Amino acid sequence: MSRDDAGTEVAHPHFERPAAGVIYEARSVPGVFPQAYISRVEAAAACKQAGKRLCSMGEWQRGCQGRRWWTWPYGPQARAGKCNNAKPHLLSSMYGSNGQAWKYDEHFNSPALDQEPGFLAKTGEYDGCANEERIYDMVGNLHEWVRDSVDDALVEKLAQEDVERKPQPSRTGNGIFMGGFFSTTSEHGPGCKFTTIAHEPTYHDYSIGFRCCRSIPKAKRPGK
């Protein structure tokens, strides 16, 4: 969300990159397409403008797994169709199977990708993709940036988890996004454990969105 010259709020098209020099404010609204094509740097700025921040990995996983710490938002085992994932690979469908020919701006960031019917879903559209606290869409639909960065300790921690992940290139300082998107399953871990560490914080493409968190102030004791 941004404002025009008259101060009127204007929703930014979910399929377009944030414009340079424009101040955006993150909003959480049901029934709309979530913002994609956004870097961690831009996502963090939009959260800050809304009085929030990007979630930490720990906060994100707690929000996804719920009070019971399920692997998937809805339970311990994967169930087909509950979340918006496991769809065909859209880049291959639209631009051919030769990944070496895909270009970052022209293909990975093409506005056409997230306007293709039947792939990106509106927020809350998959009603079953939620935990008992009714937090939606944390698996599939769009990857979500978190505020943590890659370091040796994180790489070692992920390697020690009892989770199967395909190898990922990574380096210290990379950003992290979670949950997978509409064309993934468990390549980088199942459900709430899906963790991607291969991209720098300025990276963006059609598969990546974000979610903000906010700390709840502690209640004051009577008489304080």
Q: How many whole angstroms separate alpha carbon 45 and alpha carbon 36? A: 15
Share of the chain above pLDDT 70, in %: 93
Q: Is the pLDDT assigned to residue 163 strictly greater than 90?
A: yes
How does pLDDT run across 100-148, given as a tens digit for each residue? Answer: 999 999 999 999 999 999 999 999 999 999 999 999 999 999 999 999 9
SS in 3 state form for 153-191? HHHHHHHHCCCCCCCCCCCCCCEEEECCCCCCCCCCCCH
How does pLDDT run across 173-191, given as a tens digit for each residue? Answer: 999 999 999 999 999 999 9
Kindly give, in sequence order, each residue whose CB lies less than 8 Å from that of residue 31, ignoring residues fewer than 6 positions away.
122, 123, 124, 125
Q: Name the band, by pLDDT with cuts 50, 70 and 90, for residue 10.
A: confident
For residues 70 and 62, is the Cβ–Cβ distance under 8 A?
no
- State the architecture of 2-213 in CATH terms: Alpha-Beta Complex (3.90)
Q: Which two tokens stand for residue 85?
A: 């994932």
Mean pLDDT of 86-103: 95
**What is the average pLDDT value for the chain, to the nearest integer?**
94
Q: Bridge-partner residues for 103, per DSSP?
A: none
DSSP 8-class letter at 196: E
| Domain boundary assignment for the chain | 2-213
Continuous segment of H or E residues that includes residue 95: helix 90-95
Indicate the pairing of strand 195-199 with strand 53-54: unpaired
Q: Bridge-partner residues for 136, per DSSP?
A: 130
Task: List Cα–Cα distances, 77 to 2, 171, 190, 192, in angstroms.
Answer: 40, 32, 9, 11
Q: Is the pLDDT assigned to residue 223 strictly greater than 70?
A: no
Residues 53, 150, 205, 203, CA torsion sign: positive
CA 60, 146, 163 angle in degrees (round to 5)? 65
Dmax of the chain from CA atoms? 68
For residues 211 and 38, is the Cβ–Cβ distance under 8 A?
no
For residues 223 and 54, is the Cβ–Cβ distance under 8 A?
no
Q: How many whole angstroms separate alpha carbon 187 and alpha carbon 1? A: 32
Q: How many whole angstroms separate alpha carbon 5 and alpha carbon 97? A: 44
